[in-house]
């Protein structure tokens, strides 16, 4: 079967690699000059930067991405890592001496003794969720189903809660609630919109201390986090190489203008230069609204799919500074990734973001040092630093081009709280705004991380109402995140080509 895939991001590459493996004729079309989408490296004046803090899960042995790549004969070196959190008036920085898998629990009880009982109760709940998750990863069967049902009974009373309700159930202090729900601000979500169980799944303790063992009784039990040595772009590069080595073709610098639909069936694509390329199947990626309204056409969708396109909420943008510096930032940081929060009112922060008000870094920012795991990203003796914040796609007042230098200077000044005298050590700077990422990703609205994780929200399904047209990527039903996008593309492929029993 001939398959045209629109976009050489991780979703399109994963679908393409599986199709090439099975002998299909694969053609991928991408407007950029290299694979990976927002995972591709940005190169600037002798430095290389990853597009954001790519500390990833699902990449260690026995986990989703690792197993899929292993299936394809792709093996990449990784290094386990973790992250720190700095709140407005306290921090959760990993201690130099290992304090055990629950050191954060113990520190919270020291800081907030009045919440000690609730903190203990939360961590019992955490253990129950982790046990449920472990059983879900085991071989399917009647025994597994029975064990799942028993494990679920322990957390059933919490399953209907949103993230705000769940944290307030356990904690009196707003400061602890924000510690566990702050990550939702990164997703442009109000904690009252997000699933309660998402609190645990965005706060695995192994994300905050790489020394925590991942095994229990000799079996992989906890998920781990890591960097890919040499940079995360090695994943799309490896998938692209696999595709071309198995007869597929990747056409860079080509913009797809239209999906050709005849009698309710996708029959190929039309490029911006007017050429038409027929195929038996088309796979789309990218912005859901743009893809279905501009490339496909709403008239080919059914009412249910149109409603999903009209109601699902993509994330907002980011404001990102890539800095080449002449000193070692790791002299001041314990981890190469630090979340720095500037407030406790996540509701107000979300309202501002969605209304076009940029907080200028005051609500929070991230510091990431990619040269820590990829020293080759910087010239000898130099280092890379990325500072970024979530930001509106469109500013309520002014525009990104005229404001970006002012905002960059303010963000650097804030980051000097963690990196003293940073401004004096900057040798080069690349500012990336929402407009840059709109161009980079070929989206009308910049949506850096996929879709907002809102409870009950339906995102565009992989299987579309158009026969032989499939949709994958961070704005599809799998939502954003490296593991979710790769796993979603795998799931879509298996639906498109189900194995015969």
Report pLDDT digits (tens) over 218-276.
Answer: 899 999 999 999 999 999 999 999 999 999 999 999 999 999 999 999 999 999 999 99
Q: Which residues, 6+ apart, have CB-to-CB distance to 115 below 8 Å?
A: 108, 109, 171, 172, 173, 176
Q: Which CATH number fits domain 41-81+316-448: 3.40.140, 3.30.519, 1.10.10, 3.40.720?
A: 3.30.519
User: What CATH number is given for 2-40+233-313+453-496 in this structure?
Assistant: 3.50.50.60
Residue 39 confidence class, pLDDT cut points 50, 70, 90: confident
Query: What would the pLDDT profile of 379-390 be if each residue is shown by its tens digit?
Result: 999 999 999 999
Calculate the average pLDDT of the chain.
95
Q: Using alpha carbons only, what angle is made at residue 168 by residues 164 and 169, rounded to the nearest 5 degrees?
A: 115
Residue 447 confidence class, pLDDT cut points 50, 70, 90: confident
Say how far apart CA 287 and CA 450 lie, in whole Å. Answer: 8
Say how far apart CA 171 and CA 118 lie, in whole Å. Answer: 6
Averaged over 81-92, what is the pLDDT? Answer: 97
Residue 119 confidence class, pLDDT cut points 50, 70, 90: very high
Residue 289, token pair as written in the block: 């609204």
Residue 440 confidence class, pLDDT cut points 50, 70, 90: confident
Say how far apart CA 292 and CA 300 lie, in whole Å. Answer: 9
pLDDT reported for residue 215:
94
Of 78, 74, 377, 376, which is closest to residue 241 (Cα–Cα)? 74
Domain boundaries, the chain: 2-40+233-313+453-496, 41-81+316-448, 94-222
Query: What would the pLDDT profile of 130-176 be if each residue is shown by its tens digit?
Result: 999 999 989 899 999 999 999 999 999 999 999 999 999 999 999 99
pLDDT reported for residue 197:
96
Residue 449 confidence class, pLDDT cut points 50, 70, 90: confident
Examine the pLDDT at 501 and tell me if it is beyond 70.
no
């Amino acid at each position: 079967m001939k398959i045209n895939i629109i976009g050489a991001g991780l979703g399109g590459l994963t679908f393409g690699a599986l199709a090439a493996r099975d002998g299909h004729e694969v053609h991928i079309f991408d407007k950029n000059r290299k694979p990976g989408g927002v995972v591709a490296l940005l190169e600037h004046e002798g430095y290389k930067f990853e597009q954001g803090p790519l500390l990833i899960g699902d990449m260690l042995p026995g986990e989703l991405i690792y197993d899929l790549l292993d299936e394809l004969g792709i093996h990449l070196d990784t290094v386990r890592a973790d992250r720190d959190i700095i709140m407005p008036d306290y921090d959760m920085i990993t201690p130099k001496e290992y304090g055990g898998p629950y050191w954060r629990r113990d520190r919270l009880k020291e800081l907030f003794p009045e919440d000690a009982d609730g903190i203990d109760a939360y961590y019992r709940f955490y253990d129950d969720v982790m046990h449920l998750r472990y059983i879900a990863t085991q071989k399917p069967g009647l025994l597994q189903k029975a064990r799942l049902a028993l494990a679920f009974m322990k957390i059933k009373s919490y399953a209907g809660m949103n993230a705000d309700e769940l944290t307030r159930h356990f904690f009196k202090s707003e400061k602890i609630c924000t510690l566990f729900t702050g990550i939702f601000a990164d997703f442009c979500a109000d904690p009252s919109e997000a699933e309660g169980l998402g609190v645990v799944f965005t706060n695995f303790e192994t994300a905050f201390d790489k020394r925590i063992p991942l095994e229990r009784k000799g079996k992989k039990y906890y998920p781990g986090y890591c960097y890919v040595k040499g940079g995360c772009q090695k994943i799309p590069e490896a998938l692209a190489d696999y595709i071309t080595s198995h007869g597929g073709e990747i056409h860079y610098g080509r913009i797809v203008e239209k999906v050709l639909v005849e009698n309710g069936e996708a029959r190929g694509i039309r490029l911006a230069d007017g050429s038409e390329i027929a195929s038996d199947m088309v796979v789309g990626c990218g912005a859901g609204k743009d893809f279905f309204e501009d490339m496909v056409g709403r008239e080919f969708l059914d009412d249910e799919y149109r409603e999903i396109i009209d109601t699902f909420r993509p994330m907002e943008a980011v404001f990102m500074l890539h800095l080449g510096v002449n000193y070692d930032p790791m002299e001041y940081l314990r981890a190469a990734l630090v979340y720095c929060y500037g407030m406790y009112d996540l509701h107000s922060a979300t309202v501002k973001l969605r209304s076009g008000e940029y907080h200028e870094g005051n609500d929070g920012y991230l510091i990431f040092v990619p040269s820590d795991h990829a020293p080759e990203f910087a010239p000898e003796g130099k280092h890379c630093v990325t500072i970024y914040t979530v930001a509106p796609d469109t500013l309520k007042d002014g525009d990104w081009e005229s404001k970006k230098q002012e905002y960059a200077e303010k963000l650097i000044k804030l980051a000097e709280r963690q990196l003293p005298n940073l401004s004096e050590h900057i040798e080069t700077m690349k500012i990336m705004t929402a407009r840059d990422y709109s161009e980079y990703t070929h989206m009308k609205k910049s949506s850096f991380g996929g879709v907002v994780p809102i409870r009950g929200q339906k995102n565009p399904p992989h299987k579309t109402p158009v026969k032989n047209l499939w949709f994958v990527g961070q704005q599809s039903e799998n939502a954003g995140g490296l593991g979710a996008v790769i796993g979603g593309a795998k799931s879509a492929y298996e639906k498109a080509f189900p194995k015969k029993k």
